[in-house]
Amino acid sequence: MSAGEDRSELAARNLRVLEALIFASRDPVSLEDLRPYLSDNADIDALIGDLQTLYAGRGVILVQRGSKWAFRTADDLSFLLRRDETEARPLSRAALETLSIVAYHQPVTRAEIEEVRGVSISKGTLDVLMEAGWVRMRGRRRSPGRPVTYGTTEGFLDHFGLESLGDLPGLDELKGAGLLSSRLPAGFQVPLPFDGALRDDEEPLDAGDSGDTLFDDDENS
């Protein structure tokens, strides 16, 4: 074997090693990190250049990040790594119950929802309903702590086939449908949902209001 063949074989091996090391590394790799794995006197800059040429125009390319090197998906194919999926799934019982309370009792605060439900509600539950576009923050109650008031959206009416909130069945209709038992204590009432902009005891949300503070704390706890 000639010295020339030896050299080119060595170069080919160096290139393979470089490729494997950059591929397997968890972070971009510096040339200094790579050098110990290569044969003595290897021209690392030339090798990097060769590797870059090898990958030029391919689905994966060799890119420089500062003084380090890494493989990345070619820019024009990065859309492959993003995907939109739409899925339909049933609303959880907690979400359904919370939604129904918001619908009937609006404007309603989180504490009031919990009072009706008898259990606390997680941040996620209201989040899901807001994300679904059925519940919105209306304003803040003029009371100590200024809790956020929630109400339903147009999207809610749309989804549930209601022309207005007034279409929500009242006490007698719920009884008639067998949804409420007929032996209810005297004074049991089903509220008439408030349909207007802001009620007297509500004030508008602050600009950029992100909701109850209590709420955000929950997220971190």
- Can you tell me which of 1, 3, 177, 197 binds other proteins, judged by CB under 8 A? 177
Please tell me whether residue 25 binds other proteins under the rule CB under 8 A. yes
- Under 8 Å CB-to-CB from 168, ≥6 apart: which residues? 103, 104, 162, 193
Please tell me whether residue 33 binds a copy of itself under the rule CB under 8 A. no
Please tell me whether residue 17 binds a copy of itself under the rule CB under 8 A. yes
Please identify, using beta-carbon distances, which residue of 1 and 177 lies nearer to other proteins: 177
State in angstroms the smallest separation of the CB of 75 from other proteins.
Answer: 4
Please tell me whether residue 65 binds a copy of itself under the rule CB under 8 A. no
Closest C-alpha to 135, from 84, 192, 211, 219: 211
State in angstroms the smallest separation of the CB of 92 from a copy of itself.
Answer: 19
Contacted entry of other proteins, a copy of itself, none for residue 174, CB cut-off 5 to 8 Å set by kind: other proteins
Closest C-alpha to 146, from 193, 195, 214: 214
| Structural contact between residues 62 and 52, judged by C-beta atoms closer than 8 angstroms | yes
Contacted entry of a copy of itself, other proteins, none for residue 88, CB cut-off 5 to 8 Å set by kind: other proteins
Map the footprint of other proteins across residues 113-132, applying CB under 8 A: 116-120, 128, 131-132
Please tell me whether residue 77 binds a copy of itself under the rule CB under 8 A. yes
State in angstroms the smallest separation of the CB of 77 from a copy of itself.
Answer: 5
Map the footprint of other proteins across residues 76-95, applying CB under 8 A: 78, 80-91, 93-95
State in angstroms the smallest separation of the CB of 220 from other proteins.
Answer: 21
State in angstroms the smallest separation of the CB of 151 from other proteins.
Answer: 15
Q: Three-class SS string for 137-194?
A: EEEEECCCCCCEEEEECHHHHHHHCCCCHHHCCCHHHHHHCCCCCCCCCCCCCCCCCC
- Can you tell me which of 10, 11, 21, 180 binds a copy of itself, judged by CB under 8 A? 21
Burial of 196 (0-12, 13-18, 19+ CB in 10 A): exposed
Please tell me whether residue 15 binds a copy of itself under the rule CB under 8 A. yes
Degrees to nearest 5, angle at CA 182 with 166 and 165: 10
State in angstroms the smallest separation of the CB of 43 from a copy of itself.
Answer: 17
Q: What are the b/e assignments for 21-57, b being 16+ CB within 10 Å?
A: ebeeeeebbeeeebeeebeeebeeeebbebbeeebee
